[in-house]
Structure 1
Amino acid sequence: MIDTPRSDPAPRRPVAFAADDRRLKVNDQIDDMFLTADEAVQAPLAAEEHVPRLPANASRAKPRFSYAKWISLGLGGLVSLAIGLSIDALIRDLFTRADWLGWTAVALAGLAALGFLGLIVREIMGIWRVGKIDKLRDELSSAADEDNAKAARSGLKQLQQLYADRPETARGRKALQVHLGEIIDGRDMIKLAERDLLAPLDLEARRIVMNSAKRVSLVTAVSPRAVVDLLAVLFENMRTIRRLSMLYGGRPGTLGFLRLARQVVTHLALTGGMAAGDSLASQVLGHGLAARLSARLGEGVINGLLTARIGLAAIAVCRPAPFVATNGPKLGDFMGELIKSSEQAASADQSARSRSGPAS
C-alpha cells in the first residue's frame, strides 16, 4: 500500500474586515455560541437556550473593602470603653466614700454583666431556633416533593422534638409516633403529621390572624388621625408575627424577630401578596360593599385584609412544615368574617346615631 500525501488547504490571503461584519464566519461550532448585538436585544429568551450562560458572579458586585464596618467597629469600641471607664470611675469613687458602697456597686455591675450575657445567649438561641425551623421546613418540603420516606421520617422526628415540651401537642405527637412505625410513603406521612400534629396549631394561627385583622379594621374605622392608624397597624402586625412564631415553636428574641420580619416581607415580595390583596379587596368593595359601608369602614376592611395577608405570609414563614395536604389558608377565608364584622359595626353606629338624634 502506497500512502498518498494529503493535500493541505491552500492558505488564505490576508483580508481586511470589520469586527461587526455579519458575513464573517470563522467556525460553525464557535460562531453558534455567540449572538450579534441585534440578536441579543431582539431575540426572545426561549430562542437562546443553546447559548451557555455566564457565571453567576458576572451579575454580582465584587467584594470590596467595607469602610462602614470599620467605622461601626471603631465607634462601638469607643462607646464600650467610655461606658466601662465611667463604671470604673463610679466604683472607685464609691470605695473612697465607703467600702460597703463600693462592694454594692461591684455586685450591681456583676449582676448587669450576667444579665447582658444572658441576653446575648437568648438572642443567639432565638436566631438558632428560627434557622432550625427554616431548615426543617426545607427538608420536609424536599421530602414531600421527592416522596422520600427516609427523609420524611427524619424530618418528622425533628418536628416531634420541637414540640416535645408542648402539652397541647401530646395527642398529635402520639399519633405521629404510631405512623412513623408503619410503612407509609414519605408524602403521605407528612400529610398525616399535618393532620394530626399541626392542624390544631393551624386553627389557632388562623384565629390569631383573624382577630388581628378585626382589630386593625375597627381601629382604622374609628380613629380620627392617619398617624394613629399607622401606629396601630404596625403594632398589630408585629404582635401577630411574634405570636405566630411563638405558636409554631420559634420563640425569637429581638434579633430573631427582625430576621423573621425580614423573611415575611421577602415572602410578600416574592408572592406579590400586597398587590393581590389590594386587587381582591377592590373587587369586593366594587361589587356592592362600598354601597353598604361608609368610606371609613371600607378603608378599615381594606386595612384588615392587608393585615390578614401579612398574617398569612407570617404563617408560611413561621410554620415548620410546608402545606402538603392543603394549600393553606387563603385571603378569601378571612374576607367574609371581616365584611360581616364591618357591617355589624356600621349598623351599630347607625343605630347609636338614630337614638342620639331625637334626644338632641
Structure 2
Amino acid sequence: MTDRPKTKETAHTGRKPTAFRLDDGRVRLDDASSDLLSRETRIVPAREEDGDSVPAAIERKPFRWGRLFAAGLAGLVSLAVGLSIDALIRDLFSRSDWLGFLGVGLAALAALGLLGLAIREIAGLMRLSRIDALRDEIAAAAERDDAKAAKAGLQSLMQLYHGRPETAAGRRALSQHLGEVIDGRDLVILAERDLLKPLDEQARRFVTESAKRVSVVTALSPRALVDLLMVLFENLRLIRRLSALYGGRPGFVGFLRLSRSVAAHLAITGGMAAGDTLVSQVLGHGLAARLSARLGEGVVNGLLTARIGIAAIDVCRPSPFVGARRPAVSDIMGELFKGDPQAKALLEEAEKEKK
C-alpha cells in the first residue's frame, strides 16, 4: 500500500513515495501539521469537500433611517432647550442677581425631577420585564412538572407581592406548600388558588365595571367623538389598573410598551370574541339589534372593553392560567346584562343551545 501522491507538504519535505503496512508501529494517523519524525509515515484523512454546498447568506440588517432621524431630532431639541435655559438664566442675572440664582435653583429642581422621572421609567420597565420572565419561567416549570424550577419561580412570585397585605394569607399558605408538595404543576395550581385567586377576582371586577361604564356612557352619548374618547380613556385606564393590581406599576414608556403587548395579544387571540361560542350565539340572536333602542352600540363597545380587559389580564398576570379558569367574555356579559330581563332571557336561551 502506498501513501497519498506527492503534495505541497511532501514536496516541501522531499520525501519519496514509500510502501508501508498499516499495523507498522512507525505509521501514525494524524491530521496535525507537526513535523514527522525520522523514518515515520503519517496518514492524513481526506476532508470531505461538499461541492454542492452553498455558503449561507449573511443576513444584513437594514439601516434604520428612522432611528437616525429620531436621534438627530432629539439632539437638536435638547440643544435648543439647553441654550434657551442658559440664555434665560443669563438674562435673569443681567437684571438682578437674586433673579439669576432663582433661575438656577428652578433649573436644578427641574433637572432633579427629570432624573426622578427617568429612574421611575427604568424601574417600571424592569418590573414589566421581570413579570414577563416570571410568567415564562412558571409556565415552563408547569409544563415540565419541574418542582425545582416551580419552587424558584414561586419564590420570586411571593417576593413580587411582598408587602401587599391582601396577599399575606396566600403567601403563608404557599410557603407551607413549597415544603410539602413535590410536583411542580401542583405547586403552580396551589399558587393560583391561594395567592392569585383574590387578585383574579378583583381583576374581573375591574373589567366588569369598565365594560358597564363604557356601555352606559356610549349608549347615552349623542356624539360619536364622545363615544370614541370614552372607550379610549376607559380601556387605557383599565390596562393601567390591571397592571398595578398584578404588580407592574409602569411609567409612561412602560405603559406604552404594555399597551402594545395587549394589542398584540388581542390580535393573536383572534379579535373581540373569537373562540367564545356564547358570545357568537348571542350576537347571532341579534342581542345588539334587540336592545338598540336602550343600549345601541354600547353593547358592542362593552364587549370590546371586556375583551381588551381579558387580554390585559393575560399580559399583566405574572403566572399563566394552569389550574384556574381563564376569564371569558361570556362571564363579563352575564354581569353586564344581569339587570336587564330581556338580555338575561337571551343569555339563558343561548346557554341552553350551547349545552
CA contact (8 A) 1:214 1:341 kept: no
User: Alpha-carbon deviations, 1:220-261, whole Å to 9, x = none?
Assistant: 111111111111001000000000000000000011111111
The answer to whether the aligner puts 1:262 opposite 2:260 as a matched pair is yes
What aligned pairs does 1:244-263 form with structure 2 within 5 A after superposition? Answer: 244-263=242-261
1:143 and 1:195, CA in 2 relative to 1: closer, same or farther beyond 3 A? same
Residue equivalent to 1:199:
197
Q: 2:62 pairs with 44, 64, 80, which one? A: 64
For 2:99, the aligned partner's letter is L
Q: CA deviation at 1:288?
A: 6.0
For 1:101, the aligned partner's letter is L
Q: 2:338 pairs with 340, 355, 360, which one? A: 340
Determine helix, strand or coil for the equivalent of 2:268: helix
What aligned pairs does 1:20-59 form with structure 2 within 5 A after superposition? Answer: none
**TM-score, structure 2 normalization:** 0.77
Q: 1:184 pairs with 174, 182, 185, which one? A: 182
For 1:136, the aligned partner's letter is L
Determine helix, strand or coil for the equivalent of 1:294: coil
Determine helix, strand or coil for the equivalent of 1:340: coil
Determine helix, strand or coil for the equivalent of 1:82: helix
For 2:183, the aligned partner's letter is D
Query: How far apart, in 1, do the equivalents of 2:152 and 2:338 lie?
Result: 44
Residue equivalent to 2:147:
149
Residue equivalent to 1:173:
171
1:72 and 1:155, CA in 2 relative to 1: closer, same or farther beyond 3 A? same
Residue equivalent to 2:352:
none
Residue equivalent to 1:322:
320
**Aligned length, in residue pairs:** 292
CA contact (8 A) 2:273 2:307 kept: no
1:337 and 1:298, CA in 2 relative to 1: closer, same or farther beyond 3 A? farther
The answer to whether the aligner puts 1:331 opposite 2:329 as a matched pair is yes
1:100 and 1:340, CA in 2 relative to 1: closer, same or farther beyond 3 A? same
Q: CA deviation at 1:327?
A: 3.2
Residue equivalent to 2:107:
109
The farther-off stretch of 255-264 and 294-303 is 294-303
Residue equivalent to 1:51:
none
Residue equivalent to 1:13:
none
Residue equivalent to 1:84:
82
Determine helix, strand or coil for the equivalent of 2:113: helix
Determine helix, strand or coil for the equivalent of 2:61: coil
Query: How far apart, in 2, do the equivalents of 1:229 and 1:261 lie?
Result: 20
Residue equivalent to 2:53:
none
Q: 2:92 pairs with 91, 94, 97, which one? A: 94
Residue equivalent to 1:232:
230
Query: How far apart, in 2, do the equivalents of 1:81 and 1:344 lie?
Result: 63
CA contact (8 A) 2:289 2:296 kept: no
User: Alpha-carbon deviations, 1:167-191, whole Å to 9, x = none?
Assistant: 1111111111111111420000111
Q: CA deviation at 1:87?
A: 0.7
User: Alpha-carbon deviations, 1:142-191, whole Å to 9, x = none?
Assistant: 00000000000000000011000211111111111111111420000111
CA contact (8 A) 1:212 1:236 kept: yes
Higher relative contact order structure (alpha carbons within 8 Å, sequence separation ≥ 6)? 1
1:91 and 1:309, CA in 2 relative to 1: closer, same or farther beyond 3 A? same
CA contact (8 A) 1:297 1:342 kept: no
Residue equivalent to 2:161:
163
CA contact (8 A) 1:278 1:306 kept: no
Q: CA deviation at 1:198?
A: 0.3
CA contact (8 A) 1:152 1:189 kept: yes
Identity across matched positions, percent: 67
Residue equivalent to 2:38:
none
Determine helix, strand or coil for the equivalent of 2:285: helix
User: Alpha-carbon deviations, 1:256-296, whole Å to 9, x = none?
Assistant: 11111111111111110325289854531442635752345
Give the ranges of 4+ consecutive aligned residues of structure 1 lying more than 6 Å apart after TM superposition.
none
User: Alpha-carbon deviations, 1:67-107, whole Å to 9, x = none?
Assistant: 22222212211111111111111111111211111111111
1:148 and 1:276, CA in 2 relative to 1: closer, same or farther beyond 3 A? same
Determine helix, strand or coil for the equivalent of 1:276: coil
CA contact (8 A) 2:143 2:185 kept: yes
Determine helix, strand or coil for the equivalent of 1:181: helix
1:159 and 1:295, CA in 2 relative to 1: closer, same or farther beyond 3 A? same
1:344 and 1:168, CA in 2 relative to 1: closer, same or farther beyond 3 A? farther
Query: How far apart, in 1, do the equivalents of 2:64 and 2:319 lie?
Result: 38
CA contact (8 A) 2:193 2:324 kept: no
Residue equivalent to 2:39:
none
Query: How far apart, in 1, do the equivalents of 2:200 and 2:126 lie?
Result: 23
Determine helix, strand or coil for the equivalent of 1:87: helix
Query: How far apart, in 2, do the equivalents of 1:246 and 1:201 lie?
Result: 11
The runs of 5 or more residues in structure 2 that have no matched partner are 1-49, 51-55, 344-355
Query: How far apart, in 2, do the equivalents of 1:227 and 1:343 lie?
Result: 30
Query: How far apart, in 2, do the equivalents of 1:183 and 1:343 lie?
Result: 47
CA contact (8 A) 1:139 1:151 kept: yes
1:119 and 1:108, CA in 2 relative to 1: closer, same or farther beyond 3 A? same
For 2:243, the aligned partner's letter is S
